[in-house]
A and B are shown apart, each in its own frame.
Chain A
Amino acid sequence: MSVRNELVKESATEMARQLRAKEVSSRELVQAQLDLIEAAEPRIDAFLRVSGDQALDQADAFDKRLAAGDTDGLPELAGVPIAIKDMIVTKGIPTTAASKILEGWVPPYDATVIEKIKAAGMPILGKTNLDEFAQGSSTEHSAYKPTHNPWDTDRVPGGSGGGSASAVAAFEAPLALGTDTGGSIRQPGALTGTVGVKPTYGGVSRFGAIAMASSLDQIGPVSRSVLDAALLQELIGGYDHRDSTSIPKPVPPLASAAREGMRRDLKGLKVGLVKELGGEGYQPGVEARFNEGVKLLEGMGAEVVEVSCPHFPYALAAYYIIMPSEVSSNLARYDGMRYGLRVMPQAGVEQTAANMMSATREAGFGDEVKRRIILGIYALSAGYYDAWYGSAQKVRTLIIRDFEQAFEQADVLVSPTSPTTAFRFGDKMDDPLAMYLNDVATIPANMAGTPAMSIPAGLSDDGLPVGFQFFAPQMRDEVMYKPAAALEAALQEQWGGPVFKDLKAPWLDGHVSGTTK
């Protein structure tokens, strides 16, 4: 095992410590990650674009700053490289949302989270793959290519953020950013053994996140440890006047909650098992790992109670009305006028703006995006608005009430993140409803704006990762970080290391055939 391989397998927190101690430079770290990306990508395809030159320049700038002793105000993760989901705009680096309609578009501005990443001296390794406009649960809906799951490259990494999850799981990057509208950070987290967090709605600025469903979208961290995720969320979170839904409050103390959790004392904590998120449809191997996790929480002093959220079974249906409605509105901006693809109508068809838009959107959007736009247009149309959109918004209220009542009985709620482990390519592409069911346990948090996170609970009997989900009350993200870090520490003691010690990663040793691509 080379020094490089030891380095890329470290947590982001440990990389940051080595940078500060000058045991490694940011350039060396970035170069190690770029080398590994080159070795892994023929198998994984996590990236739509690698921005190696910019990353090395950013690393050099950080190294210079460190050498000059100019470290005042730098966050703990300063200098550690990161990958960015291609749903977040990056000035000067093409950003596509994995759609043909934005192919080649170079944003003229940075998202707020990217400004913060840059201010922290964190080199950006590249842009990661996703389902087109973050619409999907397998990354198969990318207009460019599917991303492979490092645990079994014949299987999907989940979605929409399969690129960010696979990049972090395959050691191509220690950290990544994702966006979570219905589970797009947490479900890929579950399927790849990574940690994925959806912060409280409004906790992280959405300015510069390409809008999918604005009342549900939230940017969050992807990592290989709970503490890394906490540090990254603290770094990207906080009030931003450019996002009108941004919460005008400081970020809660997340890293200290995670560090407290690592002491593995949960006495006084009440954990609520959500009755409705389990049973039928959940694989036995998923439930087994989940139940073992619950036992570990109990063993650390937590009191476990069952709670009922009777309207959660309606969350998926309400989501598939609200989300497409917002999608149909948000994606109206791709009209071939000011940026992105323009396709003129065929000869013989009037060369008008309206016909150009129709030709552009027909050519530029993929099947799933069209499906959702059409559904959304319908749900919002006169005569059907009350029955569909209006009813779904009422269900949203009922889900929020369910959470409020559950949090009267427990401090934190838990469930499996995803009902199944990673599935094979093509398994669900012809059945949209089966694909949508992947997110049945993650959607309630988006509907209610509550924070939630997934951590690895171990491997199922099929050898694939299982996710364990924590929910906390609105604006109390720190409440879930403590038990998540405690469970992570207890599990890693059992396993004798992180879940990734069982990952066969031939790209680490240069044995890359590329034949599975």
Chain B
Amino acid sequence: MLGDPSVSHSTNMMMGMPTFTREEIKHLGDLARIALTDDEADRLKGELNVIAESIAKVQEVAGDDVPPTANPIPLEAYLRPDEAEQPLTQEEALSGAPATESGMFVAPRILGEE
């Protein structure tokens, strides 16, 4: 859905400036694992369209000749000394869990019906 321009991205597509629809917001909510209500999706649609319009200006100056920066202070990657450290105990690691059993996290079932 999201990558399909026929949903709503028409004239602004060329500029990379999105116009969010409620369905897209709901889809983004699914991707983000947030069960947005219809009211929330409508409010977010309005807010995000305003925000998106204002931040699209980054494309004005982002020329092909400009390299991207991910970390402002690049450091050489290095290996730490291979020394044993005391990690959290099992009890500590489980101390904040919503549900545990026999020293393990208890999760709802991962798979659906299929």
Contact = CB atoms under 8 A, between A and B. Distances in A.
Interface of A: 105-109, 200-202, 215, 241, 244-245, 247-248, 311, 314, 316-318, 320-321, 328, 332, 335-342, 344, 350-359, 361-362, 365, 367, 370-371, 373-375, 377-378, 381-384, 387-388, 390-398, 400, 432-433, 447-450, 474-475
B96 A374 contact: no
A400 B56 CA distance: 20
A314 B57 contact: yes
B92 A449 contact: no
Nearest to B34: A361
Contacts of A350: 112-113
Given A215-B72, A398-B66, A311 B61 contact: yes
Contact of B62 (A247, A354, A362, A394): A394
A355 B34 CA distance: 9
B72 A108 contact: no
B18 A384 contact: yes
Contacts of B51: 320, 371, 375, 432-433
B80 to A, nearest CB: 5
A134 B20 CA distance: 26
B88 A109 contact: yes
Contacts of A340: 96, 98
3 A-B pairs closest in CB distance: A449-B72, A339-B96, A387-B16
Contacts of B30: 358
Contacts of B109: 351-353
B72 A393 contact: no
Interface of B: 2-3, 16, 18, 20, 25, 28-37, 40, 44, 47-48, 50-52, 54-63, 66-73, 75, 80, 88, 92-93, 95-99, 105, 107-113
A449 B48 contact: no
Nearest to B65: A394
B98 A342 contact: yes
A361 B32 contact: yes
Nearest to B96: A339
A257 B69 CA distance: 31
B31 A377 contact: yes
A244 B95 CA distance: 26
Given A108-B92, A352-B108, A433-B50, A374 B68 contact: no
A344 B55 CA distance: 36
A372 to B, nearest CB: 10
A95 to B, nearest CB: 10
B67 to A, nearest CB: 6
A406 B32 CA distance: 40
Contacts of B110: 352-354
A215 B48 contact: no
A350 B110 CA distance: 11
17 contacts: A107-B96, A109-B88, A200-B73, A314-B61, A318-B55, A335-B33, A338-B105, A339-B97, A354-B110, A356-B108, A361-B33, A362-B35, A391-B16, A391-B59, A393-B70, A397-B68, A433-B54
A245 B76 CA distance: 10
Contact of A352 (B16, B35, B47, B112): B112
Given A317-B54, A358-B35, A377 B72 contact: no
B112 A106 contact: no
B61 A395 contact: yes
A245 to B, nearest CB: 7
A375 B53 CA distance: 12
B108 A398 contact: no
Contact of B33 (A358, A396, A474): A358
A351 B108 contact: yes
Contact of A374 (B48, B60, B113): B48
A37 B36 CA distance: 39
B75 A377 contact: no
Contacts of A335: 33
A507 B50 CA distance: 42
Contacts of A393: 68-70
Contacts of A357: 33
Contacts of B31: 377, 381
A245 B73 contact: yes
A398 B44 CA distance: 31
B68 A396 contact: yes
A342 B32 CA distance: 16
B58 A317 contact: yes
Nearest to B80: A241
Contacts of B3: 381-383
A337 B105 contact: yes
Contacts of A475: 73
Given A108-B95, A339-B97, A201 B73 contact: yes
A63 B5 CA distance: 68
Contacts of B105: 337-338
Contacts of B72: 201, 215, 396, 400, 447-450, 474
Given A352-B109, A358-B33, A202 B75 contact: yes
